[in-house]
Structure 1
């Protein structure tokens, strides 16, 4: 499976001038929802991502909304329960809907894209009260340039080295290329 070309064909991988949820600007934007809207691709990506881990977890956990489809597909490939976190009224990520994790259970956190790792680490933080054994992090696309986030190994189907810029030092802004904010985070 040529994931990069498939992402381009489905408009999941875009080039231009983008405002990322981190506040940084980039010449590349990844919108995995565009590839995951096709059930056959979502299932195939979930199976491939599950093969990257050499441990069977007790749970797969993903942040809403971006990680839900791929997280579900990875959980399906492992045949384990799937849980997702959501933001509460204060904007803090937490398990809701009566979801919980028993103490010391093995958990893999699955995202669609890891850029700065902020959402992923919010999920890690939200799970600490359950005392899980977080055995790894997984994503379709790792654009963080990191192999680990804190002490957790990152497994990804592809790595994309997209350029990011501070807004005050963005060459795309200096060229007066309009910035687009395609993401969901406010």
Structure 2
């Protein structure tokens, strides 16, 4: 599946938005990829994650015991990736500012864990989740996401398999281009819906 084919899936789902968006990272962008819209169709989610699972298997080449994702954005894609790989799925939730396991989730010491996200922009949530995996005694064998919107620039400290890689510009709030600054900002992510 090519980048264009993946983005066509996002467009078909109404998930590639244009405007002025404040991302979870606090950066501003003229485009937003709303993975929840893509993943709300189980057939589309299965189709996309099947291709991503094949990429992950080829890249990692070894056993995967568990999929772990950061909530909220990674929960559905993490579950579907785990289903495709035939392993359990868990997720980390933000508790007092830190990603932590709850709901009785645990990671066996030495478990080979794949960290799965929906979108990687700066990699902050992914790195936090990977740190949590290590704190719980797991070994992160790789990371996967539907879209790497950093264009390959985000460093997660582990190999990243992305279904598509695109570079969408992001800007700090005090460095907005005039055309973006002229639009009202919307924060559509899971850490503050506006």
Task: Mark the runs of 5 or more structure 2 residues left unpaired by the alignment.
Answer: none
Q: Does 1:165 align with 2:159?
A: no
Aligned residues: 185
Higher alpha-carbon deviation: 101-110 or 138-147: 138-147
Q: Which residue of 2 aligns with 1:152?
A: 158
Whole-Å Cα distance in 2 between the matches of residues 148 and 22 of structure 1?
A: 13
- Taking the TM superposition and a 5 Å limit, the aligned residue runs for 1:38-49 are 38-49=41-52
Of 145, 148, 155, which residue of structure 2 is paired with 1:139?
A: 145
Aligned to 1:178: 184
Aligned to 1:84: 91
How does the TM-score come out when normalised to structure 2? 0.89
1:100-134 CA-partner distances (Å, limit 9, x unpaired): 11111110000000011111111112122222121
- Give the whole-Å Cα distance in 2 for the aligned partners of 1:18 and 1:63: 21
The aligned counterpart of 1:21 is 24
Q: State the Cα distance separating 1:174 from its structure 2 match.
A: 6.4
User: Is the contact made by 1:147 and 1:153 (CA closer than 8 Å) also made in structure 2?
Assistant: no
List runs of 5+ in structure 1 lacking aligned partners: none
C-alpha deviation, 1:91, in angstroms: 2.1
> 2:129 aligns to what?
123
* RMSD of Structure 2 on Structure 1 (CA): 1.6
The whole-number CA distance in structure 1 between the counterparts of 2:34 and 2:68 is: 20
| Per-residue CA distance 1:70-107 (angstroms, 9 max, x = gap) | 1111101111111111112x121111111111111110
When the two structures are superposed, what TM-score results if normalisation uses the length of structure 1? 0.93
